[in-house]
Amino acid sequence: MGLAYLAPIGMQNLFVINSALNDSRRRAFLTALIVAFFDITLSASCFFGIGSLMEKYETVKLGILLLGSAVLIKIGLSLIKTKAEEIRKEGQSLPIGKTISSACFVTWCNPQAIIDGTMMLGAFHVTLLSNQALPFMSGIISASFLWFLGLIFLISMFSGKINSGVLTVINKVCGVVIIVYGMSLLKTFFSLL
């Protein structure tokens, strides 16, 4: 279940893939661990409570949808506008503080992750007995580490074959996907109004 929750293309995956393509393997693995940490904290929060806040307070749900759609559309547009010469080259890693803040942002300020986590993990929490919660969350935590570290390993194996032109195309495709998702959130926001 944890892998199904993590696998769809999202901001965390794009952040990790970008690190695997542009950073040293060691730095990319550190980035994956940082993203996994924030993912695990979000997963636990979704499993144990964010969903109830969104269900109880409609304004919280509307705020997350509106703010999230704006953030996603902005990120998508910036990815589409990225030119080949603007893409970082290996050796120009983000400072560690910027990596941590960016990983936190793409996890905790990502409405896709919050809504998907709340709906999927919150729903599972309701169906589990109290003694099943810890084993279930252990699986989610393991999946987070396996997914992000595996993604780094797989992408970094082929990173030598990917040049800035290919990265530009990947950024544009990902930008379109993110904009479409942002527009979908905006549509949901207006339908709930």
Amino acid 3: pLDDT: 64
Number of domains in the chain: 1
Tell whether pTM > 0.85.
no
Residue 26, judged by CB atoms within 10 A of its CB (0-12, 13-18, 19+), counts as: exposed
pLDDT in tens, 28-78: 999 999 999 999 999 998 888 766 676 677 887 788 778 777 877 887 787
> HSE (CB half, 13 Å, CA atoms) of 71?
16
Length of the chain: 193
> What is the structure's pLDDT at 90?
45
Q: How far apart are CA 89 and CA 93, in angstroms?
A: 8
Helices (DSSP H) in the chain: which residue ranges?
Answer: 2-6, 11-22, 25-45, 51-56, 58-81, 96-108, 111-127, 133-158, 164-192
81: containing domain: 2-192
For helices 11-22 and 25-45, angle between their N-to-C axes, nearest 10 degrees: 170
CA–CA gap between residue 29 and residue 151 (Å, rounded): 10
**pLDDT by 10s per residue, the chain, length 193:** 666 667 665 778 888 888 888 788 899 999 999 999 999 999 998 888 766 676 677 887 788 778 777 877 887 787 788 766 555 544 467 789 999 998 998 888 877 777 777 767 766 776 678 788 889 899 989 999 999 999 899 888 887 777 777 777 877 887 787 788 778 878 888 988 8
